[in-house]
A and B are shown apart, each in its own frame.
Chain A
């Protein structure tokens, strides 16, 4: 087998050196009760060529984008990925490297992640960022736990307009803790209503998503001040960071923690993972932050270099008192995001954000003109909700057969939103395809 480089002679000579007559002898410490009774019942090993065939068949059965016209987002977005990015990620010094615990031979990773932390901070308008979390959902869960650590309070308040699957992850994380989650409803404009927090409760934090699950930008300016007075942290999360190429950032709006999904930044959808948990906060909360962090320093010859730092927060040192249990994160995805932000630059990020906004405004306008109701009037980015008439699900299914994904039905997530669909239009959706969609649904 080409991944095991030993010849039979070498194996024999090594066994001699070790002092065993057979490889079985090496496992003599394993008691009978723990030995497998049967050989591994796995398929016959495939050659590279058979494997290629088999996997291509599996992948070939999936809807690949050139034929399919997709108008869904909901936490996983279609964006153009420049060819330079997969090319550069293919450099095995990045992809096959270990965690940079030996900084002298990991400066490539460390320098790049420091740049990532910097650009993420600038994109979100925040002071510091970590080296990544698993995804937007776990990043938000960890942000809530961080707020609880900082404020030493037991309640959190989360908007119902946060992605429903993110809320489920939070519920799973919170179940053994005894902390209370208060849910804040959304109003007629599709945005969170804050005045429903139970009296006398001053939660550790209020967490909203902006753009929220309905695509609406939340009204956040102004509440930061109020929350500050009661020592409640403001957490702004997101599933579409590209919005901040255009809209006011969480930092400008007074967020204490800003976190979310970074898949839009050059990472393919890949059936939901790997993603990228962006995580940033105010500098004063540095020591409460979960996850790895890269810091700048110098070596003995006064050269600039980078190291993993503030490690005493982490599991390998703090163990049961760590800020999180996280070890492996999403380093290569963070590198991807940084390459994307570097390639797009200031000009590109602004243009791409603008294009996303304009494309989705166009689709919104056309659907509106075709007679469909757009229930939420708040400013949005590249997603919005449209109400289709009763019985639309048949047409929706029919359009799927025509290779058009006409939005995500909201009823399974919000029973009060029957016949409402979440539409998404990014820079990848052509005008002619949007026009066709509108024609088909009329």
Chain B
């Protein structure tokens, strides 16, 4: 594509660089600097409306009391300004697209926020007698049933507070199951697995045995058969996997593992691709966790809270954490009496406030959840089709809800995946997942989700194309990016060499 303005020079507003700058959409409005709380505080201010004192002061020996608490004192106004300004430094899902592979950054419905904040839920003490908590218990019971229906599994626990916590619970259940039959020491984990998989397995004392994926980017039954033995507790599989493909041989692999007395754990992080389409139980999965903050639209909160319920087969239901929510006539009870249970993994029942939002989402979508998956897969394939000639594509075949590229084509310009990612920020996008999975060097993993419109996806595709062009014509635009943000690339080396963790 020829640019008629090339002769006019690179730096003026009408020059080539100027034209590229115009395409960028990361601008700064009225975004202010802001200090640390303790740099703003002045003794004697207050932001809290202290309650009336209607009792006298009781003595307490000085030997028990603490040294002065070194907290800043701030007025309410200053607290509000502080956090408002800080929020403006963040890119959020309501700001723009997050094409993060395996994160399913879909729109967070606002009605769910409103309903989770109802005082009947927020004020509820978890240890109240069950006959006073029927609303909450019904919600949990119904949510369990809906998740069982969606996954095809038989029983659910909502207790784990995050996906990794669900994985840990699954591993505890593996251990409890095998403890009855004879301890096993190993777990098979694909080379494409998320880091939480081997970490969770290791938590329970298992040694991870890696299995390589085949040329098509999926597991091969022969590879699993080769290493599956009676000292292996089972396998942890992500399906669809982190390369964006459905593990086509999952049924055969499950049969191989089961034939040697092992169990199959499913990491359901990528459930968004297959709701209403795939049957996880039919694939041979024994325990599956879901990420409510991914597939089920609950907000990420800058890193949590999420929720990672586990869905299991009938055979494994006795091992689920307690208490279980059970129906008792017309009402609901909490059943603590499960002798085979792995016990408790959370102080109470899990992240109830998050569960409410997922429940609302499922009730709002109903059978449309199938359309959610169909559109998420369409969106990803559309991006794949449009970008496969722009970025190197390691697996040139149809994908599920995410597609994977690398920086191989840009290597000649000494431009890396990281540079491409950072330059996308200048174009108004959060970068995709980068350098994961580890089996693909320089991986760029893109998952648009179904809540991104065609227009937004087209804008994303155009941005990537523009960046690829910049990589050829002026790589410094990439290596110097992001250029339009308040803060540029940060020195992570010094942060790790000389950690400064508190002010």
Contacts and interface: CB of A to CB of B under 8 A. Distances in A.
B15 interface: no
A321 B454 CA distance: 42
A152 interface: no
B132 A62 contact: yes
A217 interface: yes
A429 to B, nearest CB: 10
B345 interface: yes
B278 A352 contact: no
A430 to B, nearest CB: 6
Given A109-B303, A297-B494, A136 B347 contact: yes
A183 to B, nearest CB: 16
A227 interface: no
B163 interface: yes
A428 B50 CA distance: 11
B152 A36 contact: yes
A74 B127 contact: yes
Contacts of A200: none
Contact of B364 (A48, A113, A132): A48
A134 B305 CA distance: 8
Q: Identify the interface centre among B45, B300, B362: most chain A CB within 10 Å of its CB.
A: B300
Contacts of B150: 40, 42
Interface stretch (B1-9, B78-86, B224-232, B470-478): B78-86
Contact of B431 (A1, A102, A269): A102
Contacts of A272: 126, 346-350, 352
Interface string A107-119: 1110111110111
B382 A347 contact: no
B271 interface: no
Interface residues of A, number: 200
A419 interface: no
Interface in A29-85: 29-31, 33-37, 39-46, 48, 51-52, 54-65, 70, 72, 74-76, 78, 80, 82, 84
B107 A3 contact: yes
Interface residues on B, range: 35 or more
Interface stretch (B17-25, B67-75, B256-264, B406-414): B67-75
B71 A341 contact: yes
Contact of A274 (B82, B107, B250, B354): B354
A422 to B, nearest CB: 10
Contacts of B167: 325
Interface string B121-141: 111111111001111101100
Interface in A97-127: 97-100, 102-109, 111-115, 117-119, 121-123, 125, 127
Contacts of A312: 496
A58 B139 CA distance: 8
A234 B37 CA distance: 31
A95 interface: yes
A170 B363 CA distance: 35
B199 A318 contact: yes
B98 A98 contact: yes
5 closest Cβ contacts across the A-B interface? A272-B348, A59-B120, A332-B301, A272-B126, A45-B366
17 contacts: A29-B248, A35-B278, A36-B277, A36-B282, A92-B95, A118-B38, A134-B165, A138-B346, A172-B172, A244-B69, A249-B66, A272-B347, A299-B489, A299-B491, A309-B492, A331-B301, A342-B82
